[in-house]
Amino acid sequence: MIESSQLRGAERAGIADRRSFRITESARLHRIAAASSFVFLISLAGVCHADTQAGGTLPPAPDKLYGDLFVAVQTAQIYPDQKTFVDATPNADPATIVQLYAQQKNNPGFSLANFINQYFTPPGEPVITPPANQTLREHINWLWPALTRTTTSAPPNSSLIPLPKPYVVPGGRFREGYYWDTYFTMLGLQESGNENLVDDMLDNFAYEIDTFGHIPNGNRTYYLDRSQPPFFSHMVELAAKVEGHGVYQKYLPALRKEYAYWMQGENTTQPGSATRNVVVMPDRTVLNRYWDELDTPRDESYLEDIQTAQQATGRNPNEVYRELRATAESGWDFSSRWFGDNMTLATVRTTSIIPVDLNSLMFHLEITIAKGCGETRDFRCVGEFAQRAAKRALGINRYLWNANGYYGDYDWKLAKARDNKTAAMVFPLFVGAAWPDRALKTAQQVQSTLLQPGGLVTTTYDTTQQWDAPNGWAPLHWVAIQGLKRYGQDALAKQIGTRFLTDVKGVYASDRKLVEKYVVEGAGTGGGGGGEYPLQDGFGWTNGVTLQLLDLYSPGQ
């Protein structure tokens, strides 16, 4: 087991005295050898491979599978929600369906809606009817089985990607597992004593990394071209707190492979340019951005993306599509933090922005890999990733510190900080990469600009997008609370947690449900709005964070 003080040293790199993290090879090996002990090897051999669909491989995404038929269905809005069709199951071979469509579409009286109803089965909408008079805690614990799915196989030519073990879905239109949602869901599962399900979902993600090279946005074929905020290392850390440090060794190969995915091109990218998710700054500091392999409209939001590109006057539509896809990878789809003018979706420029949350998560991934390498006594690896984490911390504090007194995003193409105060400012505190004086200034900004009667508002802009004012989100509240507590700001953390918990309790009291997002501004409470789809209930990450907040601020309830 690697001595924790060494990794804390990496976490504090550039913090206390703003000194670079330096450790000689001999001193480093001495510290590790003194504290390390042998642990038995735990491999991923127990992770069985999910059955692939008919033919042994996954089918193409729906836009490729159905071509002109896909475009016709989504353009005609056969279903109110664009996600419905791409989640539907074909009742015949896709090639046959496409051929029949070509033969029939010009016939007099042809009805596209009738054709789709004949050849596709839309996804079912599970009805969740909880028992009466449940407390909030009882309701959440009752929901876990209702939100759990086991899909070791999928119907032929479905967009669903099978997974080897059970997993929890967010709820509503989100019928599959989602990457960053899962960490916050795990918080609640662990609190509820469902450690086996935590392990199952970790194994699923390790399987996806092994199979696809990364964790997709969600387990659908149309999500394979991008990932989401990399919380896998936090999931490993969460499990290790209960199950011991052997968890770091078990998932080390997956952690390293995920890191390689995010860092593709770091050694060949010239200073001042970017490759995929990597940006190399003029001083050769390596940071990360959100990105997507494709530059076409998203399958699940096809018509919305077409319309956004049409509104982006003077911009190449394919450029806009890639920006929209990159924003989907961020999880903040959509938000003023990605807009050139802070207000209009058509000005989206996500690939030009170095996000403070992503780079904080990459710092944690580097620290976690170092811990895993310590478990295997791979001292060279420990040194490499401790150094990488130290350099990342320095990069965060150089480029992602806004002179106005908070951590924020940086526009690398314009070579200037983004002028947009968002709840992402707490991520360097969450992972321990913030300098103490800057953590204090950030806490002051949180209190003065983001704290509202119902909790933490996501940004200060009201754009009608869901990741902007007046909405607040459970995962951002948890990150803020943990980050502030880490730097001794317990009172502010409690204010944020109790206000948001009151908001959640208020909606549950009136509507008997937990929802995806909440309105936190104003005197009242309620479910949030904005974005591409109606408010969803269920809801995985709200459930997980709420259980933790009940333990912290409403014990006994």
Please report, for residues 1, 379, 547, the alpha-carbon distance to residue 31 in angstroms, rounded to integers and kept in the order given: 11, 10, 39
Instruction: Answer whether residue 150 shows pLDDT above 60.
Output: yes
State yes or no: 331 annotated in a binding site: yes
Q: Is 557 annotated as a binding residue?
A: no
284 belongs to an annotated ligand binding site: no
**Residue 506: what pLDDT?**
95
> Is 78:116 a contact under the CB 8 Å cutoff?
yes
- Taking only the tens place, the pLDDT of each residue in 413-438 is 999 999 999 999 999 999 999 999 99
SS3 content of the chain, % helix, strand, coil (to 5): 50, 10, 40
Mean pLDDT of 146-150: 97
Please name the residue ranges forming H helices in 192-316: 195-212, 232-243, 246-250, 252-262, 302-311
In angstroms, the CA 187 to CA 351 distance is 31
Looking at the chain, which residues constitute the CATH 1.50.10.10 domain(s)? 405-557
Q: Which residues are catalytic?
A: 333, 516
Residue 203 marked in a binding site? no
Render pLDDT for 37-79 as a digit per residue (tens, 0 to 9): 222 222 222 333 333 443 359 999 999 999 999 999 999 999 9
Buried/exposed 112-138: b ≥16 CB within 10 Å, e otherwise: beebbeebbeebeeeeeeeeeeeebbe
Q: What local confidence, expressed as pLDDT, does residue 17 receive?
A: 35
Establish whether the linkage from the previous residue to 334 is cis, with ω within 30° of 0: yes
- Residue 81: band (very low, low, confident or very high) from pLDDT cuts 50, 70, 90: very high
Answer whether 409's CB lies under 8 Å from 419's CB: no
Full strand arrangement of the beta sheet holding 273-275: 273-275, 278-280, 286-288
Evaluate the CA torsion angle 281, 287, 293, 297 in order and state its sign: negative
* pTM, two decimal places: 0.91
Is the domain 405-557 a CATH 1.50.10.10 member?
yes
pLDDT of residue 317: 98
| 181 annotated as belonging to a binding site for a ligand | yes
Whether 292 shows a pLDDT value over 90: the answer reads yes
